Structure 1
Amino acid sequence: MIRSKLFFVLLLSAILAGCGTTSKRGGGYYQDDGPDVNPPKNLQSIPNAQPRIERHAPANMRPYTVMGKQYVPMTGNQPFRQTGTASWYGKKFHGRKTANGEIYDMYAMTAAHPTLPLPSYAKVTRPQTGQSIIVRINDRGPFHGGRIIDLSYVAATKLGLIGPGSGAVIVEAITHDDIRTGAYAQGSPTPVTIQSPATMQPVQDGYQSTSTGKLTTISENSGVPQVYLQFGAFSAQQSANSLVDHLNQKISSVEFREAHVVPTNDLYRVQIGPYNSRTEALDAGRRIEQETGIVSSLAIR
């Protein structure tokens, strides 16, 4: 996405036209966007961006306004954590200038964000899988409600977002202090293997999280197995709570049940339920996926 001063008005109009639709024609999130005809075969092996302290140009730190909304860029040492929807952009913008004057490379681990410093680094985690990547922020956008970050094609590939076009993520700024101490390499949610419903053990005396992050007891059932939707399993409770909050903010129009956290076997599982039958749970899972882009699995307990 180009945000150069000379063509700002013209390019902003084009960008907003793309952001105003969720069409995935061509395979990308933006209309007429998508992967290259012959993308490299080793995308998963492309390493994360390597954080380093870089100078921020004064022009990239000035407040700016888009669609009547003012954005105030952050400083390089300001902690930041955000939960929302990520999308991606590909060949339509490949080779064009980014907001800080660099050339956009869809096969580099970069991203666009409305307020993170240019350039800077961020850790992006997909709560559904617990998988994290590190990207270099070198562009501005997206300016569409509900989306918080635009990933490069390869970054989206590594998070499994190419197919759906968008998905829930957690964005964490990597500050200058994090870079000096190396804390960014240790502070992310640890990826975990999500067990299938058939291998999950029954949960006794489970707990669920409220929007405040506190734990409350889930009432025990009569001993009859019940069906739940599971959206992820994490070794860090904070990651599970973040996904719970994100789901509950998004699903109220399609599902009256709330997501909650069930800690068991050293993991924090994000689940919704119970449902009266497998069919009822699958129907709910489809509605939630359409609303949030997050795919669930069935869990019996």
Structure 2
Amino acid sequence: MYCMISSAKFRFSLLTLVLLAGCVNLPKDEFTHYGDGPPRNPPDLSNIVDPVPKFEPLAKTGNKPYRVNGVDYKVLATADNYEAVGHASWYGTKFHGRRTSSGEPYDIYKMTAAHKSLPLPSYVEVTNLKNNKRVIVRVNDRGPFIDNREIDLSYAAAFRLGMLQSGTAPVRVRALTPVENPTTINTRLNPPQHSSQYLQVGVFNEVENAQALQQKLKSLMNLPIVIASEAELNNKHRVVVGPFDNEAMLHRINGLLEFHGIIGYPTRLN
């Protein structure tokens, strides 16, 4: 006795074998990919412009310490003076429209990037060390978590840097600080009486409690955390963050503290 296989079933089985062998390319919509990659019909990106760095509040998500694949990561308190050399990659249509770590949707046609430790959002200049092309991107996502890569770029940013075909490129990443902001302008017009300001985040009778808060803050940010014990405060112990040379940075760090449930008050040390 033998079984007869219908031609329809035979064709289905044959198609399955061919697909498994990777010999057939299925048609894909522009943003429907089984893997990541570029869009099928991208628009002209030759005239896309870099974003202009500006002061922004920290994103409500994506700025706390986190763990990925068993590795713990800390978020920098500020992007100031950040510079690193490493490898860049890019991510495309597989993630288009998905929520980034900052809560914003990912748009492959915007000049954005993902970074493991810079505050969200931040602005950085990325230089392709192979061709010296440069772009400015707004960091609003976390990653990349592959090998030793430094930054993951949007499709548009990778296009501008000439690295779409290679997929990765050696780059220099340098953080950019906005040059103009109403707060910084007022600071220059009305300079404070003293050169530096601090944020007071706690006052304790016992120095051990002040030290515990100091250690907690050190796990959140790479800034000086000072315990000031002053006689005029009946030998109480103040925990302060700083110093800050301008009010713009003080307010930005205060926003980061509030994000972690810590209230800071501007102060000065005697």
> Under TM normalisation by the shorter chain, which class is it?
0.5 to 0.7
The DSSP-based 3-state class of the residue aligned with 1:76 is coil
The superposition leaves residues 181-230 of structure 1 with CA deviations (integer Å, 9 ceiling, x where unpaired) of: xxxxxxxxxxxxxxxxxxxxxxxxxxxxxxxxxxxxxxxxxxxxxxxxxx
The superposition leaves residues 41-76 of structure 1 with CA deviations (integer Å, 9 ceiling, x where unpaired) of: 2x1210011111000135432111112222111123
Match in the other structure for 1:37: 40
Alignment of 1:201-280 (within 5 A): none
What amino acid maps onto 2:124 in structure 1? Answer: A
- The whole-number CA distance in structure 2 between the counterparts of 1:141 and 1:124 is 16
- Structure 2 portions without partners, runs of 5+: 1-27, 182-270
- The whole-number CA distance in structure 2 between the counterparts of 1:50 and 1:96 is 24
Match in the other structure for 1:85: 87
Match in the other structure for 1:65: 67
Aligned counterpart for 2:54 among listed residues 49, 52, 55: 52
Aligned counterpart for 2:148 among listed residues 128, 146, 151: 146
For residues 83 and 93 of structure 1, do their structure 2 counterparts lie closer, same or farther at Cα, with a shift above 3 Å needed?
A: same
The DSSP-based 3-state class of the residue aligned with 1:150 is strand
For residues 163 and 101 of structure 1, do their structure 2 counterparts lie closer, same or farther at Cα, with a shift above 3 Å needed?
A: same
Moved beyond 2 Å, runs of 4+? 57-61, 75-78
What amino acid maps onto 2:59 in structure 1? Answer: A
The DSSP-based 3-state class of the residue aligned with 2:90 is strand
- The whole-number CA distance in structure 2 between the counterparts of 1:72 and 1:179 is 28
Identity percentage over the alignment? 47
- The whole-number CA distance in structure 1 between the counterparts of 2:153 and 2:180 is 21
1:76 pairs with 2:63: no
- The whole-number CA distance in structure 1 between the counterparts of 2:154 and 2:126 is 12
The superposition leaves residues 123-157 of structure 1 with CA deviations (integer Å, 9 ceiling, x where unpaired) of: 00011222110000010000112211110001000
- The whole-number CA distance in structure 2 between the counterparts of 1:179 and 1:65 is 35
> How many residues are treated as equivalent by the alignment?
151
Aligned counterpart for 1:175 among listed residues 174, 177, 182: 177
- The whole-number CA distance in structure 2 between the counterparts of 1:77 and 1:108 is 21
Match in the other structure for 1:121: 123
The DSSP-based 3-state class of the residue aligned with 1:156 is helix
Answer yes or no: is the 8 Å Cα contact 1:110–1:155 preserved in 2.
Answer: yes
- The whole-number CA distance in structure 2 between the counterparts of 1:114 and 1:171 is 13
Aligned counterpart for 1:163 among listed residues 162, 165, 185: 165
Match in the other structure for 2:102: 100
Cα distance, 1:77 vs structure 2: 4.8
- The whole-number CA distance in structure 1 between the counterparts of 2:59 and 2:93 is 27
For residues 63 and 179 of structure 1, do their structure 2 counterparts lie closer, same or farther at Cα, with a shift above 3 Å needed?
A: farther
For residues 31 and 128 of structure 1, do their structure 2 counterparts lie closer, same or farther at Cα, with a shift above 3 Å needed?
A: farther
CA RMSD in angstroms comes to 2.2
Answer yes or no: is the 8 Å Cα contact 2:89–2:169 preserved in 1.
Answer: yes
Q: TM-score, normalised by structure 1?
A: 0.47
Answer yes or no: is the 8 Å Cα contact 2:60–2:102 preserved in 1.
Answer: no
Cα distance, 1:170 vs structure 2: 0.4
Answer yes or no: is the 8 Å Cα contact 2:53–2:177 preserved in 1.
Answer: no
The DSSP-based 3-state class of the residue aligned with 2:159 is helix
Larger Rg: 2
For residues 179 and 35 of structure 1, do their structure 2 counterparts lie closer, same or farther at Cα, with a shift above 3 Å needed?
A: farther
Answer yes or no: is the 8 Å Cα contact 1:124–1:172 preserved in 2.
Answer: yes
Q: TM-score, normalised by structure 2?
A: 0.52
- The whole-number CA distance in structure 1 between the counterparts of 2:118 and 2:127 is 16
Answer yes or no: is the 8 Å Cα contact 2:62–2:141 preserved in 1.
Answer: no
The superposition leaves residues 266-301 of structure 1 with CA deviations (integer Å, 9 ceiling, x where unpaired) of: xxxxxxxxxxxxxxxxxxxxxxxxxxxxxxxxxxxx
For residues 59 and 154 of structure 1, do their structure 2 counterparts lie closer, same or farther at Cα, with a shift above 3 Å needed?
A: closer
The superposition leaves residues 2-46 of structure 1 with CA deviations (integer Å, 9 ceiling, x where unpaired) of: xxxxxxxxxxxxxxxxxxxxxxxx9xxx981111111002x1210
Answer yes or no: is the 8 Å Cα contact 1:51–1:179 preserved in 2.
Answer: no
